[in-house]
Chains A and B, each alone.
Chain A
Amino acid sequence: MKQINAVLEGFGSTVLLLVRALSYVGTLPRQWHRFIEHCYLIGYTTLPIVAILSFFIGSVLALQAGYSMENFGAKQFIGTLVGLSMARELGPVMVAILLAGRVGSAITAELASMKVYQEVDALETMNIPPARMLVLPRLAAVLVMMPVLAIIGDLVGWYGGALISNYTHTIAIGPEAYFSALRRFTKFTDVMNGLMKAELFGFGIVLVCCSIGLNTRGGPREIGASVTRAVVTSLILILVLDYFVTKILT
């Protein structure tokens, strides 16, 4: 009961934080520098790991698909499988998981530290709402950066699959055949669906991580606990949200 109450409390505080942050949208132009800084942290610095991870996810997907589909003469559809999987599911989800691990944990750690060391209290004392200064720029930044990361993840994954399909002896599907199969069944709407999912995931991750960070109570030890809780909650949120969003978008 206590745990359910805690979950509901966390859910409620997150929704309230969102409402408060959105109420300060008009102040966003004045926080341009913060917005750019968070864009840099969320997007630019996450790019290398997203590219590496997506490349190998696409490659492994092509490799496994080639291994299994060869048995019934469907190697030509590797492009279709990799294209649709990356665009609709793996691209957004993997980028979101990376974001949760790399950015979400950092956000929670930073806000929890500020909360523990009473910096947040100081801001409130100065009549600076934390939702406006600490949450809104991050939410805006993730909304802008998440589609960029997701589309990079998609394309890098596609090209990783194409590269593996071309140069793996047992698959030997050329780029023309690969992308032809990819184009035949993968529509631009599939990519857009994936980008929308990524947007939702990113927004949810940042919101949850901010909320958990700002709700940290106690000493420095709680910072680590908050970070762990934030990452775990983000991962669960990604997968649960993924199911419902996929259900809605399909």
Chain B
Amino acid sequence: MNNAQQTARVGLFFLLGLALIWVAFETLSDGKVFKDRGYTLIAGFESLKELKVGDEVRMAGVRIGSVEQTRLAGRRAEAVLRIDPGVRIASDATGSIVMAGIIGTDYIGIDLGTTTAPMLEPGSEIHTIASLDLNSVMAQIGKLGTKLDDALGGLSDSLKGKDGKPGLFQKIDTLVGENGEKITATVSNLQEVSAKLNRGEGTLGKLINDPKLHDDLLATVGDIKTAAGEAKTFMANAQSIVDEVKSGKGALGMLVYDEATANNVRVSVKNVRDVSDKIARGEGTLGKLINDDSLFTEAKGTLKKADRAIDSLDDNGPINALGIVAKSLF
């Protein structure tokens, strides 16, 4: 290799080094190494939280792009998403910032949306929803802890007492102290009762321990069941009767539902009332018979006369006697 060729190679090599240093400078100073592929979408949020440029965009957990830029747009923050070519997103798909790890790595998760919705055009805005981040959750847990602390404090005060007032434990202690004998007696009674129950004494004890009582109870229940069955049959029959009455069948049905029969009954009742009124007033034969005691008196006198006449009759034939009685009556 001659000197010229060697020099040229070294020069080329040196220039290559300079060029690479320039490339490194460009790369680390917002220079682009790779051409942008795919298309962009805008995702607006109230806060981007820990989302950074380069974080992933995932659809149903599958990486479909990355966050190209984050910026403020008026009163909200926007993330420009670079979506891989060939991935289409439905216009009703929803994006949210999802926390991937506890060291501040977030990504934008996009759901699939519906199949009928039209696809988002490049540069358009995707619908987003706010999601809870770790700080919000921790803040809520902190509030919960404060409330729990207050509640436990209140409980502790009520148990231990506060401002000189005795607590629940003190009250119980006092109660037990003052009524110790009564409680002991009650407990001994309870022990006695339970012992009796155990021995099968008393009604309750027999109920618990005596199998015959149990069998009787079962038999009684069986009888009740039978009675209930019969009552059911009776009720069914009564129901059929009521149904027949309602349908106007039979005397009762006609009486209840037939207008003509009802009128007849009404007239009959009225007649009966008239007759009873007349009887009450002493009109007519029956009325006089009931109200006028002269007839009774006369009848009594007549019977006495008849008695005497019978007595006076010795051998007169029955026809004569009858003729005499009839004559005295009429």
Residues of A within 8 A of B (CB): 33, 36-37, 39-40, 43-44, 47, 72-74, 76-77, 79, 144-145, 147-149, 151-152, 154-155, 172, 174-177, 179-184, 186-188, 191, 195
Contacts and interface: CB of A to CB of B under 8 A. Distances in A.
B101 A175 contact: no
Given A155-B20, A177-B55, 6 more contacts: A36-B3, A144-B14, A176-B36, A176-B82, A182-B27, A191-B25
B10 A174 contact: no
A47 B13 contact: yes
Which 4 residue pairs across A and B have the least CB separation, nearest first?
A148-B17, A73-B101, A180-B54, A39-B10
Contact of A176 (B6, B7, B24, B34): B34
B66 A188 contact: no
B145 to A, nearest CB: 26
Interface string B25-60: 101111001101000000000000000111110000
13 contacts: A33-B3, A36-B3, A73-B101, A73-B103, A148-B13, A148-B18, A151-B17, A151-B24, A155-B20, A176-B34, A177-B66, A182-B28, A188-B28
A147 B27 contact: no
B68 A176 contact: yes
Nearest to A87: B24
B14 A187 contact: no
Task: From A37, A145, A180, A187, name the one whose CB has the most chain B CB atoms within 10 angstroms.
Answer: A180
Nearest to A72: B101
B25 A76 contact: no
A183 B28 contact: yes
A77 B103 CA distance: 11
Task: From A148, A155, A184, A191, name the one whose CB has the most chain B CB atoms within 10 angstroms.
Answer: A148
Contacts of B25: 188, 191
B215 to A, nearest CB: 71
Contacts, number: 101
Interface of A is mostly: helix
B10 A176 contact: no
Contacts of A176: 34, 36, 54, 66, 68, 82
Contact of B13 (A44, A172, A175, A177): A44
Contacts of B9: 40, 44
A61 to B, nearest CB: 17
Contact of A151 (B10, B21, B100): B21
B105 interface: yes
Given A36-B3, A44-B13, A151-B17, A179 B29 contact: no
Interface residues on chain B, size class: 35 or more
Contacts of B7: 36
Interface of B: 3, 6-7, 9-10, 13-14, 16-18, 20-21, 23-25, 27-30, 33-34, 36, 52-56, 63, 66, 68, 82, 100-103, 105
A43 B18 CA distance: 13
A179 B10 contact: no
B28 A175 contact: no
A43 B13 CA distance: 8
Given A40-B9, A43-B13, A179 B66 contact: no
A123 to B, nearest CB: 21
B103 A152 contact: no
Nearest to B38: A176
Contacts of A152: 16-17, 20
Contacts of A182: 27-28
A175 B103 contact: no
B105 A184 contact: no
A155 B13 contact: no
